[in-house]
Amino acid sequence: MVGAGPRPARLFRALGDPTRLQVLTHLLEGEKNVSSLVHLAETSQSRLSNHLACLRWCGFVASRREGRAIYYRVADPRVADLIALRRSLIADNAAYILSCTRL
């Protein structure tokens, strides 16, 4: 059955973390190195590395090394569509989302 099992839930779990969403949003603006992302996400390098590893594992971002620096970029152009859809859904359903007591 299409959509059964843990895969769809894992997708949303990967995208459900605020830091990972913030990183993806910044990367949609263009490739960034780790130190830039640490600054933009206002988190430690070790925490950011864990988030980036998750995003890489899921196929959302790719990396390249340049000397000692590692640069990340969005690997799948559909990520932009997901972020835009998320914004649209939130805008259209903000009152319901904010009032939901089950989350």
Strand order in the sheet with 32-33: 32-33, 69-74, 61-66
pTM: 0.82
| pLDDT (tens digit per residue) in 15-66 | 889 999 999 999 999 999 999 999 999 999 999 999 999 999 999 999 999 9
Q: If residue 16 lies in a helix (H) or strand (E), which one and from where to where?
A: none
What residues pair up with 50 in beta bridges, in sequence order? none
Determine the Cα–Cα distance for residues 4 and 82; give it in Å rounded to an integer. Answer: 20
> How high is the pLDDT of residue 3?
54
7-16, 63-72, 88-97: which is most confident: 63-72
Number of H helices, E strands in the chain: 5, 3
Each domain of the chain, given as residue ranges in start order, spans: 6-76
For residues 11 and 75, which has the higher predicted lDDT (pLDDT)? 75
Q: Looking at 3-92, which runs of residues are DSSP E strands?
A: 32-33, 61-66, 69-74
6-76: CATH topology: Arc Repressor Mutant, subunit A (1.10.10)
> How high is the pLDDT of residue 4?
60
